[in-house]
Amino acid sequence: MKNILVIGATGQIGSELTMKLRGIYGNSNVVCGYIPGAEPHGALLESGPAEIVDITNPEQISATVKKYNIDTIYNLAALLSAVAEARPQLAWKIGVGGLYNCLEISREHGCALFTPSSIGSFGASTPHVKTPQDTIQRPDTIYGVTKVTGELLSDYYARRFGVDTRSVRFPGLISYTTLPGGGTTDYAVDIYYAAVKGETFKCPLKPGTFMDMMYMPDALRAAVEIMEADPARLIHRNSFNIASMSFDPEIIYNKIREHIPEFRMEYELDPLRQKIADSWPDSLDDTCARQEWDWAPEYDLEAMTRDMILNLRKKLLVPEPAL
């Protein structure tokens, strides 16, 4: 049985991953690590233990690891790409300093460590279409710099100290539970909220801006499956390309209009996000993940769109349209 600490457990991924891990490994075996100002609420608070764990504070991480006899850490603390550009020093402190704390504590206590990387670990000089697993990684953003550093440092700790570090490069993640906040791919979440609320969506990216995206249930499953994978089969560790769908604003807009025909979108470009998106791949090649740990996504754009609209209508108390 695993004893798991999730750091950043109230964030976009953490709030859902913590509940999924509790469902698999038992409520009392998964600790929700949060920072003041981002306290857990509702089921997340009530279903299991919670502790203040600031990733920049090694004593707090270490004390929690000892108190709960933790053997696996999910490190989900990060500033997303656009907000990181506004606060690069903090992005480094959390993304690299925080990861270093997790690696050292994992080395001392024999913990396995999951730290997500991202499509943001690639840059303008990377091949953009079907980006290979092993390729040029010269990102243009501080977010990407922290992610590449994290991949290298995690592989180093695996080789040098035998720490069981594993990772996937997440595409833009889409869910109806917790909003992302400060990312370049956030538009693909915001567009569903606007559509369900009956608002005109102001799209910050221009038509033709393709990026890889993924529905949250697939992303959560990837995070669990990579940590459960047979290590003897893993040729790579930090970090695996994973993919399920790639679209531009026009494609997702038209898909939503198949379900909500009156929905409208206008373009109001955000130069920073456009620049970041232009430097990222259009689509990733996830062959290695499929071969080394049987990765396979379940949701395509149609299945995700149906589920997002259904659940956002419930969440926002918007009635189903009359047939």
Binding residues for ligand SER, per CB under 6 A?
A: 80-81, 118-120, 143, 170, 172, 183-185
Contact 188, 213 (CB under 8 A): yes
CB-wise, 13 or 229, nearer to ligand SER? 13
8 A C-beta contact, residue 148 and residue 139: yes
192 part of the active site: no
Among 175, 166, 252, which Cα is nearest to 217's? 175
Residue closer to ligand SER (CB basis): 83 or 251:
83
Among residues 34, 74, 143, 176, the one annotated as catalytic is: 143
- Output the smallest distance, CB 55 to ligand SER, in A: 17
Instruction: Give the orientation angle of helix 14-25 with respect to helix 216-228, to 10 degrees.
Output: 50
Query: How large is the angle between the packed helices 187-197 and 301-315, nearest 10 degrees?
Result: 50
Distance of CA 53 to CAs 35, 107, 153, Å? 6, 18, 22
- Burial letters 205-223, b for 16+ CB under 10 A, else e: beeebbbbbbbbbbbbebb
CA distance 146 to 120: 10
DSSP string, 114-173: E--EEGGG--TTS--SSB-SS-----SSHHHHHHHHHHHHHHHHHHHH---EE-EEE-EE
Considering beta carbons, is residue 119 or 256 the nearer one to ligand SER? 119
Of 71, 20, 68, residue with least CA distance to 44: 20
In the complex, the smallest distance separating the C-beta of residue 22 from ligand SER, rounded to whole angstroms, is 24
In angstroms, give the least distance from the CB of 115 to ligand SER: 13
Closest to ligand SER by CB, 29 vs 81, is 81
DSSP code per residue over 204-273: SS-TT--EEEEEHHHHHHHHHHHHHS-GGG-S--S-EE--SEEE-HHHHHHHHHHH-TT--EEE---HHH
Nearer to ligand SER, 64 or 141 (CB): 141
User: 123 vs 172, which CB is nearer to ligand SER?
Assistant: 172
Shortest approach of ligand SER to residue 186 CB, angstroms? 6
CB of residue 311 to ligand SER, shortest distance in Å: 20
Give the nearest distance from C-beta 295 to ligand SER in angstroms: 17
Q: Which residues are catalytic?
A: 143
